Structure 1
Amino acid sequence: MKLLQLTATFGCLQGDTLEFGPGMTLIGAPNGSGKSTWCAFLRTMLYGLDTRQRDRKGAPADKNRYRPWSGSPMEGLLVCEFQGRVLELRRTSASGVPMGDFSAVYQDTGLAVPGLTGETAGEILTGVSQEVFDRSVFFRQTGLAVSQSQELEKRITALVSSGEEDVSWTEANERLKTWLHRRRFHKSGLIPQLEAEEAQLQQTLTQTASLRQDLAQLQARAAGLRQQKAHWESRLSMENDKFQTISQRRYAEAAAELDAAELQLQTLLARQQADAPQTEPDPDELEEEIQDTLDDLASRRRLMTGFVTLIVLLTLCGVVLFAAPHVPQFPLQLPEIPLLFLAPVVGVLWLLVLLFTLIKSACDRRDTKALDELRALLETRQQEDSHLAQDLREAQIRREHAQKYFEAVSQQSGSGPYLPPEAEACRASLHQAEQEIAQIQGQLTALGDPVLVDARLDEIQEASARLQGDYDAIEVAMEALKEADDQLHARFSPQLSQTAAGYFQQLTQGRFSQVALDRSFNVTVRETGALADRPLALLSQGTADQLYLALRLAVADLVLPSPQACPLILDDALLSFDDDRLAVVLHLLTELAEDRQILLFTCQHREFFMLEDRPEITTVTLPDF
């Protein structure tokens, strides 16, 4: 394939066109003018745009990085020569998918190219997949290093073996390793999982057998305890019947005694009310009458005493009046009272005293008699009330005792006989045994049916044996694959190393003569005449870039030889080369351009100065260069 023309609306490019010569084309442009954009556009036209790619921190997806600055839809045209005919490839944006629409036609007829689609265009035209394209013929300033790739390995394997490109030791080895790790990887994988499950099932069976043995012992113990419990319950039933009979008899006696006491108390209360008629005074009234009678006697006694005292005083006064005139030297001059007058008066007075005395005596005898009768009646009533009160107190005490006895008997009849401590211990032991039995039965239920566990264990053992056989077979296969790969590597590594050594020797002007490359594309070099190899880390940056360029050219020659030559694309890949080695590289590229197309993008003018006397070189300068 040879590139003829590119027209792009892509990133900073807005309908810009770039044309290429048949051999080497030198494109000059300053930094930021779109050199890398043209390279990315070419890759997109060949292999399409990955719209599933997502933005990452500091690295936006290509669909966002190269969105046209003008806001126009992303689109482009690639004109190339393939198998002697000129093709036009178009990619346009459709239905919101950038570069989602693809067409490929012959320029002379406008007919569609059969078998060429948006997905297969790049691989058909270049002869390699995008991954191999990036690692072989696409040179970038920051991507000169050659890295391992399954696609690149397939391509190299096809060249040195059967020619089939579906064989990759790395891919096969990774697939076998994946299968191997799926079965066992340290403590993970299917086999350790089955082994862990087998150990768990074995532990389950052991635990089930132990629990069943414990369950049998507990059930036998519980049966004995149930017999003891039945014996104690039978005994308790008999004692309870006896106790109920006695309690009923005591209850009846207590109820009868309480009823009798209550009846007696009510009878005495009725008698107390009946013995107190409304016509008879009560003891308080009797006491008042007695007190009134005593007061009358005392009043008459005081009145009689005062009356007698008055009569005595009057008598003494009459004697004094009668005798005073006859007493010589008496201080008072009193008239003389005749005796005949005085004597009758005194006599009348003492007759009154006698009369009053008789009346008083008669009244005193009457009141004394009434007083004695009242006292006798009061004493009788007090005695009767005292006896009645005593009977009431005794009746109340009897009722209280009967009530307490009745309540005590009622409480005893509700409590019933108690089991002895041995019976309670038997009941507690049986309850604990039943709880343990229920717990063990629950554990057995959780552990599952032993028959199913045994069946599952057999399945696991069979699966584990099968997987272990697969594991052993995979290990044997990986060892055989490793031996075959070592033989294959011994075939392509010298060829690639020899080709890279020739390029590297030419680029370093004979300083280095040997290049050694292992499977992972780790490189060591040897200087001409030296005995020891030097690792890549000990080389300068410029020498390392020259070595990477030599390896890239060798890989391109190996995977895309001259009959299938695909253009080499270099995007500022020679910046670190000094002028002398740059001249050597340009001379080598011009020689290679005789067999394949080379596109060299640069931001420097020295390449133009060095190639200005080479008319076969096509030069293109972008604006502002």
Structure 2
Amino acid sequence: MFVNRLEIKGFGKISGLTIELINGFNIIFGKNEAGKSTIQWFIRGMLYGLKGGRASKDGTPPPLKKFRPWNSDNYGGIIEYTLDNGQMFRVERNFESNSVKVFDALYNEITQSFNISKEKGALFAEHHLGLNEESFDRTVFIKQMESKIDNDGCKELYNRLLNITQTGFYDTSFKKAETALREALKKHVGTERTSKSPLDMIEKRLEELKNIRKDLVEKKNSLFEIEAKLAGYVKEKEKLENIKRLLSKVQLLYEIRGELEKCLKQHSELVAIQSEVKRIEDELKDALQQLEDRISAARRRKKGLGYLAAGLIITSFASTMAGALWDKTAYISAALMLFAALVVIIARGRISRELSAMIMQKRKKAEGVKAPVLSDTCHVNVEHLDKLINKAAEEERELERRLESCISDIDGIFDSVDFTGYQLKIFDDNLMNSNLDELKYNLKLDSDTIENLYSNVLLNIRECETMLNSISYDEESFQKTEEELEELENKKSFLEDTYASLNIALDVLTEASLEIRRDIGPRLNSRMSGIISRITGGRYNDLRADDKLRLNAVNPDSGDVTASLVLSGGTVDQMYLALRIAAAEIITAGQETVPLFLDEALSQYDDDRSRETLEFLDEMATKRQVVLFTCKKREVDMALEIAGDKLNLVNI
């Protein structure tokens, strides 16, 4: 059997890669981390599937998770191979859905013609290669730095060798083995005739658990749905609370603007009163000055008339004396003078009354200057008016400061509010320029709308919380159900695999009874010795494995039997490589010739041993396909020198 073609659609770091191989010597060459080990794992996965489940104790993920594609949604690929009889097959595997399809050369799907495992799908590789996954892994599938086989691997390989070579040696032994296998099949799995077999009981319990899980999943989905709604309502509530906070700031802005307009109006009125008072005060001062001038003039006239009256009286008295003494006509002059004096006195009296009136008027005007009269009933204290104006100016500045602070708060809240789904009328116009009555009206509309929405959201939140409390879902029960389901699925898978394995064992046992083999030890040791002699240039000629496949060799320097573990790392690798190849040849003798896959198998070899091993692999490639993965250019160059055009070099 040899692999013709690999098509990796998506596997680990590799996607969209096709590799053509030949039935001979193949080298897949690439730098470190180019994906060589990934390709080797892809081959194994395509043949036997990938194990899923949980991570190991050291945290290493299972292969199914480890090789999930990095850059592709298609987790799988295609492998095409040809059997020794010339039959060609094509296998398509999807690791994501755990599905596999097998086609013959005419693309007839023949998947159902093989035993089916729930975990691995069709067991075509076991059927065609004659190797189960463990034997394949311990013989022809050599991973990087794993030429040596661990204890479990040695036990598996040894048992496999014994099964192939010894089963059926004695008829009695064969019958006992056959009976034991059938009893084990009946006891651990059951047969088609049993109704209460372990597998039937597991399937019944699985059905019950699946119904329980279905109910729990429905409840869990309902919880997730309600929690999602609740989260949405809580988010909506936060948005509405922010909007309410914004509206409260706008309400404060409206109130401050109202107070500011009143203050501005009052300030304006006071300033107007102050101007009017100033005007009246100036007029009163002018009138007072004019009155003062008139009073001064009246006083001067009164004083002049007094002097005149006194002169006339004196003159009249002199004229009277002159009339009495000298001339009687002087009495006429005295009378005229006296009359004139009387007229002057009367005029002076009138001026005195006018002067008194003007003095009274002056007093009133002087009082008016101190407290100007705006109306018949309104007297204004100028000093008090100045205080009122200053107070109004301070209040105006304080309101403007508060207004500016309020606008800053509104801007800060506005930037943080999500208005998606809301249309606020207050922002139709500029908050500072809009009409106050219109702003009040729009603010009332927006506040009522948001308050109604907020009440509805609170109601929805309470309804969601009530619904959450009413759903009896227990995550611990769900986890326990899942764990029990997983455990039973694993048991079922194990029983199905056991069923398939036991049936295969019966078939193999029947076939093996026809081939009596008891020379496993000598055959294995003889073949190993030949291989180790070939790849060490004849330095080691006698290599043997004990009952547990622990290797011992005759030391060419001392001639003593030496355990392989005390030899150099390169020598140990070569010895275990010889063991793997020899075991593979014995196990597959008379069956398919299984390809040999080696990943960096020569990493610890020096140049001489590398060349000898490559020459051996080139010889082996004439009988079985060899696929060597390497990052060493020197190994490629050696192989090209040895194999020439026969070498299929694949660069990745």
TM bracket, shorter-chain basis: 0.3 to 0.5
Structure with max Cα Rg:
1
Query: With structure 2 as the length reference, what TM-score do the two structures score?
Result: 0.44
